[in-house]
Chains A and B, each alone.
Chain A
Amino acid sequence: MDFRSLDDTVLMAQIARGDASALGELYDRYGRLVYSLALHIVGDHAAAEEITQDVFTRVWQNASRYDAQRAQVNTWISRIARNRSIDVLRRRQARVHHTSIEWGEVAPDAMVADDNPEEETLARLRQQRVQQAIQTLPEAQRQPLALAYFEGLSHREIAERLDQPLGTVKTRIRLALQRLRAILSEENSV
């Protein structure tokens, strides 16, 4: 079976049956995403590696519980990666308080060449769309969104951190996600 031709959902079914090579293919698709997110949140390579290993081990163990009706595979994996990274971040912040995590700089040439240029181009386009969509948000919305997304802070915690009224924070986060949804769903339908 050529895994490369399989869509994510079929691949997940194969992983649920205990096929380690299918997990290898899933890693080829999402390993960089998971690693990059973990690295951005926790800020060090060793911890990012550990998180990535943990995420794919969880995928392996929980593949049979993946429900395609509820989430796309990339949504599901990035949620696990984000949650694990925030867990690690919280344990560290209990010791050291560091500055808030911001959205990354867009670095179009940061991508490494792959042996499948077509797929690579699609992934890069999608990434650019998301990055550009975030850039269209006013800074006043981007900042609370970053605190919620990267640090897992609640409305209340964000309001305290930014010294803003709770209602303002709630509104800004809601507007930010509504706007991103509008932009990204428009482009998904292209």
Chain B
Amino acid sequence: MPIPTHPTDLLPAYALGALDSEEAAQVEAHLAVCEACRTELRAYESVVGDLALAVPQVEPPPALKQRILTGVAPAPRIEPARAPASPRSSWLQRLLVGLRTPGYALAGAGAILILLLLASNLVLLSRIQTLKRQLAMTQPLPTVVLHGSEIAPQARAVLVLSEDGEHGALIVDDLPPLDPEHAYQLWLIKPDGQRDSGAVFNVDENGYVTLMVKNPMPFKEYAAFGVTIEPMGGSPQPTGPNVLKGQNLTG
């Protein structure tokens, strides 16, 4: 097989996307086997990227950032499936009834529950009922209950952990919806008082949300968990009032 010549002259137009498909395919075939040309291409791609700066710079409308961040909110936007009979007794509160045991051990097991908690809420209730039955005899799933502070006394949240303590889901109920300039932020509090951000989130009109927690360390490393009100997008460290707090008794 002859050594293919380097398509050096085609790389600028390839970076720009101006080659016809046949030429582009030839260049791609060569790039797959030639590191030198890949490096050369990256230089042209960088130039093409810089061309974006050549247009007049216009400030986007201020509300756009919020719209984007709301659109990618960490929690799936799901409709709460409340039982119509008892308006103020949410499924979470009913779930919490089952948690009022020392150590807050929920009968359940595995990361499956966490995935389920994040699944469509329309089927969540029935699945949780099934799950509670199925898992009644297996290992308790570690959970931490967070209680509302004096500024949101009705609020409740439960942090459900996977058995290995590596993954966690937070379920929040009855937390007042915030104005667009603010968001709730979950803090993972280390024994020395240092805090890691676990999530930045908003609640729906019912004050409800479920979300996956981002934990830099296994949950057993944290002494407590808290939720504060922060400027939209979150803060590096808590700056606003605390609305939920719970001690980690799972370790």
Chain A contact residues, CB within 8 Å of chain B:
1-3, 17-21, 23-25, 27-28, 31-33, 35-37, 39-40, 45, 48-49, 52-53, 56-57, 60, 70-72, 74-76, 78-79, 81-82, 103-105, 107, 110-112, 126-127, 130-131, 134, 145, 148-149, 152-156, 158, 170, 173-174, 176-178, 180-181, 184-185
Q: Write the nearest CB–CB distance from B164 to chain A, whole angstroms.
A: 19
Q: Does B210 contact A (CB under 8 A)?
A: no
- CB pair A57–B52 under 8 Å, yes or no, is no
Q: How long is the Cα–Cα vector from A2 to B68 in the complex, in angstroms?
A: 21
Task: Select A79's contact among B49, B59, B74, beta carbons within 8 Å.
Answer: B49
A104-B55 contact, Cβ under 8 Å, with A31-B64, A149-B16, A178-B12:
yes
Question: In the bound complex, how far is the Cα of B18 from the Cα of A152, in angstroms?
Answer: 7
Q: Does B61 contact A (CB under 8 A)?
A: yes
> What is the size, in residues, of chain B's interface with A at 8 Å between Cβ atoms?
47
Partner of A2 from B16, B57, B236 at Cβ < 8 Å: B236
Given contacts A72-B46, A152-B17, 13 further A-B contacts (CB under 8 A): A3-B236, A18-B214, A27-B65, A32-B58, A52-B68, A53-B64, A79-B45, A82-B52, A111-B57, A126-B53, A158-B18, A177-B13, A178-B12
Inside 8 A of A3's CB, which chain B residues have their CB? Answer: 236
Bound-state CA distance A23–B42 (Å) is: 25
Q: By the criterion CB–CB under 8 Å, are A40 and B53 in contact? A: no
Q: A-B pairs with the 4 shortest C-beta distances? A: A75-B49, A177-B12, A24-B233, A21-B234
20 A-B pairs whose Cβ atoms sit less than 8 Å apart in the complex: A19-B214, A19-B234, A20-B73, A20-B74, A21-B200, A21-B233, A23-B68, A24-B69, A24-B233, A28-B65, A36-B56, A36-B58, A52-B68, A71-B45, A78-B52, A81-B52, A104-B56, A110-B57, A148-B13, A177-B13
Q: Which residues of A contact B48 (CB under 8 A)?
A: 75, 79, 149, 177
Known: A53-B68, A173-B18. A71 touches B49 (CB 8 A): yes
Contact A52 B64 (CB under 8 A): yes
Residue pair B64, A57 in contact (C-beta under 8 Å): no
Question: When the two chains form their complex, are residues B52 and A70 in contact, meaning their CB atoms are under 8 A apart?
Answer: no
Q: Which residues of B contact A (CB under 8 A)?
A: 9, 12-13, 15-20, 42-61, 64-65, 67-69, 71-74, 197, 200, 212, 214, 232-236
Q: A56-B72, A174-B12, A177-B48 given as contacts; is B65 within 8 A of A33 (CB)?
A: no
B235 contacts across to A, CB distance below 8 A: 21
* Candidate in B9, B50, B64, B236 with the most chain A CB atoms within 10 angstroms: B50
Q: What DSSP secondary structure best describes chain A's contact surface? A: helix
B54:A103 contact, CB within 8 angstroms = yes
- B20's partner among A2, A145, A155, A173 (CB-CB below 8 A) is A155
Q: Which residue of A lies closest to B212 (CB)?
A: A18
- Contact A127–B72 (Cβ < 8 Å): no
Query: Do the beta carbons of A20 and B72 come within 8 Å of each other?
Result: yes
Least Cβ distance of A87 to chain B in Å?
Answer: 12
Contact residue among B20, B49, B54, B71 (Cβ-Cβ distance under 8 Å from A154): B20
- Chain A residues within an 8 Å CB radius of B50: 75, 126, 130, 180, 184
Report whether A37 and B214 are in contact in the complex, using a CB–CB cutoff of 8 Å: no
